């Protein structure tokens, strides 16, 4: 059975980067995925800093993004540039931190 490969470009603005198969559903390139993920993680951290509890939807998203980031790192191998691998590892660390803060009691930092 032959595998069909679609060559798509990112749907954000004038970006012409290719969309990896793992991000085909979102229709965005890895850089834009990372930008969006970092923004959402920063928002979650800000909510915790304000003493707010993260809702179950946000917690579910954080867990899924952690799993997805590990998958991207495992499958990407040499396909990712050193900068992309570094950003993926940074995201994984940020996701772990926000989950840890979310499981603590009221924010004290």
Model pLDDT, residue 40: 95
Instruction: Give the integer Cα–Cα distance in Å for 41 and 34.
Output: 10
pLDDT score of 109 more than 50 = no
Between 37 and 53, name the one with better pLDDT: 37
Cβ neighbors of 37 (< 8 A, separation 6 or more) are 65, 69, 91
**Would the pLDDT of 60 be above 90?**
yes
The mean of the pLDDT values for the chain is 85
- The number of C-alpha atoms within 13 Å of 63 and in the hemisphere containing its C-beta is 9
Q: What is the mean pLDDT of residues 53-57?
A: 90
Report which of 39, 9, 26, 31 is spatially closest to residue 80, judged by C-alpha positions.
Answer: 31
Band the pLDDT of 77: cuts 50, 70, 90. Answer: low
pTM of the model: 0.82
- Checking phi first, is residue 27 left (phi over 0); if not, alpha (psi -120 to 50) or beta? left
Percent over 70 (pLDDT), the chain: 86
């Amino acid at each position: 059975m032959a595998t069909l490969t679609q060559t798509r470009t990112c749907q954000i603005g004038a970006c012409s980067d290719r969309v990896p198969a793992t991000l085909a559903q979102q229709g965005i390139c890895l850089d834009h995925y990372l930008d969006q993920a970092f923004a959402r993680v920063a928002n979650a951290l800000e909510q915790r800093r304000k003493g707010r509890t993260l809702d179950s939807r946000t917690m579910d998203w954080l867990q899924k993004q952690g799993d997805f980031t590990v998958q991207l790192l495992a499958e990407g191998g040499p396909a990712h540039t050193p900068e992309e691998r570094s950003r993926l590892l940074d995201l994984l660390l940020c996701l772990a931190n926000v989950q840890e803060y979310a499981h603590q009691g009221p924010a004290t930092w």
